[in-house]
Structures are given as C-alpha cells and as structure tokens.
Amino acid sequence: MIQFTINDQQVEAQHGWTILEAAREHGIDIPTLCYHEAVAPSGACRLCMVELKDGNWSKLVASCIYPVAEGIHVYTETERVHNVRRWIFEMLLATCPASPEISALAERYGVTSTRFSAADPDRTCMVCGLCSRVCEEVVGLSAIATVDRGVYKRVGAPFSRPTDVCVACGCCLSVCPTGAMQSLFDTVRGIPATIMTQLTA
C-alpha cells in the first residue's frame, strides 16, 4: 500500500490507483465530468484538478489520471484549485449553455454565471468523448467517435449518418454527463433512438 496525505489527512491506496480513486475511497469529494470507472480515464475536462504541494513547490494535476505516489501531499480545496475549478466551470457554462446538468453541477460548486460568451445557446455537448469511449471499451463497438477539430469538434456516427453498427444498448446515453446524448442519439441510431430515449428517460 502507498501512504500519502489528502488535505493533511493520512490515507493509503493501492499501487496503480489514481488520486481520484484514492480520494473517493476515503470519501473526499472531487468534481468530475469526463471520468467513469468503467473506462480508462482521458483527462479531457480538467474539472478534477487538485494541487500537489511540497514545501514552497506546488503544481496542479488532473486527479483522474495522476497516479498516487508515496509521501505526496494532495490538496483538493486550495485557492488555486478553487480558481481553476471556477474557470473550468465558466468555460463549461459557455460551451454547454443548454445543459441543465452542467448548470446544476456548477451551481453546486458556487458558479452561477460565466464571463465567456456562448457560441451556441442550444449546445449541450462538451465533447468529452465519454460516450464513444464507453461504446468502444465497454460495448466493444465504435459506433460513434469524436470527429473534426477545434470549434468543429463533435461526437457522432461516421459521416453524421445513422449507423446499424450501433446496437441501441443505451450505454452512451447513461454515461453522458451533460444530457447531450439524448438529442444526439437520433443522429446515431435513427428512428429507434426515439424509443431508446423514452426507455432511458
């Protein structure tokens, strides 16, 4: 077992665990969006940032991809963590202004407005890729993927057309942290998507 501290509390974790896994094991809250225990972490959203400190030295790391190590000192509620968390929530509120899930999570951490302007007021997808990772790693298919780059980056079926590679299992719907897959699903599966959406509502 590896011994280290989180918020000055002595904790232990198994080799290979991430800071996030150790924190959750010890009931310490760290917000996440793109993380799901069923798939390998991607570090896409950066919401799970924590601060590592050693004397005067410190750095911010994404806890869902940073492995625990003997003797490290992790802090989840410092001023630097709060600042970066607020900044990420503000970016998310501007990226996904139509997502009630994002608004609710941001509000839970005290962020109710954003200084950034929203490019698309109807957008809900943060393009975290969790849906496509679940489709590939859990379901064993690649019916959906992240396509294009920059501001055009999005998730969908190849060529933005319904695909029968999708077996309508609903796994992507259930893990989507923003509710975006509810509306995207029609573009992936076509008409049966309407039935799935009702079943999983």
**Residues engaged in binding ligand SF4 (CB under 6 A):** 125-131, 134-135, 139, 141, 143-144, 155, 166-172, 176, 178, 180-181, 184, 188
- Counting contacts by CB under 6 A, is residue 48 touching ligand FES? yes
Strands (E), 140-183: 145-147, 154-156
Stretch that binds ligand FES, among 31-39, 83-91, 141-149, 168-176 (CB under 6 A): 31-39
Among ligand FES, ligand SF4, none, the one that 47 touches (CB under a kind-dependent 5 to 8 A) is ligand FES
- The answer to whether 61 touches 52, Cβ cutoff 8 Å, is yes
Among ligand FES, ligand SF4, none, the one that 168 touches (CB under a kind-dependent 5 to 8 A) is ligand SF4
- Counting contacts by CB under 6 A, is residue 39 touching ligand FES? no
User: Would you list the DSSP string of 13-68?
Assistant: E-TT-BHHHHHHHTT-----SS--TTS-----S-TTEEEEEETTEEEEEETTTPBP
The nearest distance, CB 97 to ligand SF4, in angstroms, is 13
Among ligand FES, ligand SF4, none, the one that 155 touches (CB under a kind-dependent 5 to 8 A) is ligand SF4
- The answer to whether 118 touches 197, Cβ cutoff 8 Å, is no
Neighbours of 188 (CB within 10 A): 27
Among ligand FES, ligand SF4, none, the one that 94 touches (CB under a kind-dependent 5 to 8 A) is none
Among ligand SF4, ligand FES, none, the one that 45 touches (CB under a kind-dependent 5 to 8 A) is ligand FES
- Mention every residue, 6+ apart, whose C-beta is less than 8 A from residue 118: 93, 94, 95, 97
- The answer to whether 3 touches 70, Cβ cutoff 8 Å, is yes
**Nearest to ligand SF4 of 23, 166 (CB atom):** 166
Over the window 109 to 148, marking each residue x when it contacts ligand FES by CB under 6 A and - when it does not, the resulting string is ----------------------------------------
Binding residue (CB under 6 A) for ligand FES from 6, 45, 50, 173? 45
**Within the chain, where are the H helices?**
19-25, 79-95, 100-108, 130-134, 171-175, 180-189, 192-200
